Structure 1
Amino acid sequence: MARPRGYVREEVLDKAMELFWRLGYEGAHLAALVEQTGLNRFSLYKEFGGKAGLFEATLERFLGYLIAEYRDVMTRQPMGLENIEVNLKGLEYGSQYYGCFMLNTLTQKDTVPAGAYQKAVEAAGEIEALYQANLVSAAARGQIGGKANVAGLGKMLQTLDQGLHIQGLAGTSDAQKDRVIAAMMAMLRNEQV
């Protein structure tokens, strides 16, 4: 008969996530992960298959939260420019900001496990698709031109989203972020920028 776990998997993932998020995949050494999570090496390997498996599981947990947040905002009815603006304004900044865990994973392509990188790519694609769906609705509602390049604009909004996360790491203020978002929204509405 197997021994019951002496830990809660989700709590271990949350503790490991903080370390991976702050230090990156390479910076979060196994000894630090053991100390942070409270698992011994044997349990860590048994449960996750090692550091790479733990990273993938933590990223998957984070992406579940992230995509749920995007869907919560970006699927509000009626879909359109309002959802896009609310979403962009809701991006997190602050002194304890370590960037977006998904975006950090994408920028560490050569060092993170391939499976984790692929999950981050898929999540970024889902976010882009949410932007595109809102643009389709915006066109149908007359908020933007009916002949707008929705695919191109969706990619541009995804790029802006990711760029704002990087600007948050660089110390850009909320006021600066708001000016960038206002300019983007004016451009989408075909107003003078």
Structure 2
Amino acid sequence: MARPREFDQNEVLEKATELFWVKGYERTSIADLVSHTKVHRGSLYDTFGDKYQLFLACLGRVQQINYEFVFNILSGPDDPKKILRLFFEKTIDRALNENDKGLKGCFMTNIAMDMTVLDPNVASHVEAFNSKLESIFHNLLQQLQHNGNLASKYTVSELARFLVNTRHGLYITAKTTTDRQVLQSICNVALSFLD
């Protein structure tokens, strides 16, 4: 008879995510995961499968958290200009919020730089997130265009892709600076088409 689990799966996923976030997939060993999660190797394998399956579970969890963050801001009732500005303000807040665990930047962005070339499955997760974000930006920009508040020589699709890229760029830049003004200046240029 199998023993009941003696750990909370969400807590384990959170701890494993922290480790993958800081060290990356390749540099994180099973021994690291056992030590950091305080769950025996056998229990990790029984519950999540191998290291790769555990990583995918972490990726899915982070993807869901990111969706919630994005949707909570971008689906607000305000004017699309205000919503876009608020989104990038909150993105800067998150990018600069290095907590006591040393989690700087964005897990999805880190993974995009670390693994997508090597792993088509991971690439599809990142691509799905980017596509969803681009679609939301596209809808907001279409509202602006429909209201006559979008003056740009670029198409709505081009601007939406540019904003997705700007989001990732902010997280990458935040890994090397703590100066909010640096990130704010990037946003000012990126959103200048709203003025």
Q: Determine whether 1:168 maps to 2:149.
A: no
Matched with 1:140 is: 146
Counterpart of 1:25 in 2: which secondary structure?
A: coil
Q: Distance in 2 between matches of 1:137 and 1:148?
A: 15
CA distance in 2 between partners of 1:50 and 1:10 (Å): 17
Residues 10-61 of structure 1, C-alpha deviation per residue, up to 9 Å, x if partnerless?
Answer: 0100010100001000111110001111111111111111100110001111
Structure 1: distance between partners of 2:7 and 2:117:
29
1:177 aligned residue: 183
Provide, for residues 92-145 of structure 1, a one-character-per-residue CA deviation record: whole Å limited to 9, x for no partner: 214544221011111122576543332122112111111111111111222214
TM-score after normalising by structure 2 = 0.88
Structure 2 runs not aligned, ≥5 long: none
2:52 corresponding residue in structure 1:
52
Asked if 1:20 corresponds to 2:26, the answer is: no
* CA distance in 1: counterparts of 2:17 and 2:183, whole angstroms: 26
Cα separation, partners in 2 of 1:111 and 1:13, compared to 1, 3 Å: farther
Once residues 146 and 140 of structure 1 are traced to their aligned partners in structure 2, the CA distance between those partners, rounded to angstroms, is 13
> Which stretch shows the higher mean deviation, 41-50 or 175-184?
175-184
TM-score by length of 1: 0.89
Q: Which amino acid aligns with 1:150?
A: V
Q: Report if the CA contact (8 A) 1:30-1:51 is conserved.
A: yes
| 1:116 corresponding residue in structure 2 | 122
Amino acid at match of 1:31: A
Larger mean Cα displacement after TM superposition, 156-165 or 109-118: 109-118
User: Which residue matches 1:125?
Assistant: 131
Amino acid corresponding to residue 149 of structure 2 in structure 1: Q
- Equivalent residue number for residue 151 of structure 1: 157
> Deviations along 1:144-189, whole A, 9 cap, x unmatched?
1498511000001111111111110121511121122122222333
Quickly say closer, same or farther: Cα 1:167–1:22, change in 2 above 3 A: same
Output the amino acid matched with 2:53: G
C-alpha contact 2:152 2:193 (8 A) present in aligned 1: no
Distance 2:157 2:57 in 1: 31
The answer to whether the 8 Å contact 2:116/2:123 transfers is: no
- Distance in 2, Cα, partners of 1:116 & 1:37: 23
Give yes or no for contact 1:131–1:157 (8 Å, CA) kept in 2.
yes
Match for residue 4 of structure 1? 4
Counterpart contact for 2:150–2:193, Cα < 8 Å: no
Partner residue of 1:69? 69
**Secondary structure in structure 2 of the residue aligned to 1:5:** coil
